Amino acid sequence: MFPKNLSEYAIVLLLKDKADHLFSFLIFTFIVTLLSAVLFVSDAIQSDLKVATLFQPDIVVENTLAGRAYTLSEEDKEAIESLRGVTAVEGAVDGYYYFAQGRVWFHVIGDSSLRLGAMRVGSGVYTAIKAWHYEDQFNFFTPKGKITLNIEQIESKATNLLCNDVIYMHPANARAVLDLGMEHYSKLYVTVPNPNEVGELTLKIVETLPYVKATSKEEILANYQHLFYYKGGVFMILYLVCMVSFLILLKNQISLVYGEKKKEIAILRSIGYGIKDIIAIKFIQNSTVALSAFLSGVGIAYLYVFFFQAPLLRSIFLGSELEHSVEFTPIMDMNMLFLLFIFSVIPFLACVILPSWKIAIADMSEAVR
């Protein structure tokens, strides 16, 4: 594409101005690293969520008022069961238990596959209680007294995204810990076999029980997507940082062509370099910097997210109260990376090549005197 000798000389000239190009390289790498890391974390979480939501109930019913969660009764369950199109309604027992010593909240979920007196805990929970010397058992302190449960299993790190702060126990134990009556439920899971009827039934449920909130599977999935679709408030700050850095970078790129470099272009022109040769040199130099920076940025982001599990950034996505030992699934959205490449490299190159062309076509006789 470019003559070998010219390409070599372009690199010689690039290395001559190491400091200037190093600055561009570092800023560009930083921007790409930050944006790629956000992309990787977000995609990793979303891919796990996609798998996790396979068994999502068609409609989830909760009793909320002014942002607070109340229980649902057996009557509420029967009222929903009587609606045409609903084949099953399952009552769920879950809630939050405050572990005073560790000052953290655990999410208690009733799981009928467990026997009475046994519990399975997420690894975040285990870490928190182990710090207070709980190894095989844990005591829950309720208004009605102490409840001791045996730890049967610790969930693997792979599922931390869903159960890091979760304790599974038999529903009867859960009711006791959460002080939930036998005829009360924290949520109702509604099964609607015909997907076309879900929307209508969601509205019917709210009509029947005006104090409840009914959320369809579609809405739940959309909420999750929205949460992690890198549009949240915190991400806007990150993007702002990237934008400002990028503008500084572009300004630096433009200044690379003026001053000493303007004379350099004039000198090369005077010894026989054509306009196309000057453009070729600038293109080769800046493509080398841009491509190296892009590859470095993506590589560093990958190592940061998938080797080191994104310290700091992970807290923005997942909160930081409970120690999260999440393992992100390595996923690279090539389409987004390609878009990132196009929208970063092209302006980067344009900010050098266009001014270089302008200088190259100017009268060189004054510049070389």
In the region spanning residues 329 to 368, those forming contacts with other proteins, defined by CB under 8 A, are: 329-330, 332, 361, 363-365, 368
Alpha-carbon span 193 to 87, nearest angstrom: 7
Non-local (6+) Cβ contacts of 45 within 8 A are 161, 228, 317, 328
In the region spanning residues 67 to 96, those forming contacts with other proteins, defined by CB under 8 A, are: 67-70, 90, 92, 95-96
| Identity of the residue, 8 or 207, whose beta carbon is nearer to other proteins in the bound complex | 8
For residue 343, the minimal CB distance to other proteins (Å) is 21
Q: Which of 116, 234, 295, 346 binds other proteins (CB under 8 A)?
A: 295
Is residue 2 part of the contact set for other proteins (CB under 8 A)? no
Alpha-carbon span 238 to 125, nearest angstrom: 31
Is residue 283 part of the contact set for other proteins (CB under 8 A)? no
For residue 161, the minimal CB distance to other proteins (Å) is 6
For residue 84, the minimal CB distance to other proteins (Å) is 23
Using a 10 angstrom Cβ sphere, with 0-12 exposed, 13-18 middle and 19 or more buried, the burial of residue 105 is middle
Alpha-carbon span 359 to 265, nearest angstrom: 7
Non-local (6+) Cβ contacts of 251 within 8 A are none
- 3-class secondary-structure state, position 251: helix
For residue 243, the minimal CB distance to other proteins (Å) is 27
Non-local (6+) Cβ contacts of 20 within 8 A are 252, 256
Is residue 169 part of the contact set for other proteins (CB under 8 A)? no
Tokens 């270089």, residue located: 356
For residue 278, the minimal CB distance to other proteins (Å) is 10
Which is nearest to 257 in space by CA: 281, 291, 293, 290?
Answer: 281
For residue 320, the minimal CB distance to other proteins (Å) is 8
Which range of residues in 75-83, 106-114, 238-246, 351-359 is near other proteins by CB under 8 A? 106-114
Tokens 């449960």, residue located: 149
Is residue 13 part of the contact set for other proteins (CB under 8 A)? yes
In the region spanning residues 192 to 221, those forming contacts with other proteins, defined by CB under 8 A, are: none
Q: Which of 288, 333, 347, 354 binds other proteins (CB under 8 A)?
A: 288
| Identity of the residue, 68 or 146, whose beta carbon is nearer to other proteins in the bound complex | 68
For residue 159, the minimal CB distance to other proteins (Å) is 5
Alpha-carbon span 293 to 31, nearest angstrom: 9
Is residue 43 part of the contact set for other proteins (CB under 8 A)? no
Which range of residues in 41-49, 202-210, 334-342, 344-352 is near other proteins by CB under 8 A? 41-49
Which is nearest to 83 in space by CA: 186, 196, 206?
Answer: 206
Which is nearest to 294 in space by CA: 240, 254, 337?
Answer: 337
Indicate the helix (H) or strand (E) that contains 282. Answer: helix 275-302
Is residue 269 part of the contact set for other proteins (CB under 8 A)? yes
State which amino acid sits at residue 266.
A
| Identity of the residue, 251 or 276, whose beta carbon is nearer to other proteins in the bound complex | 276
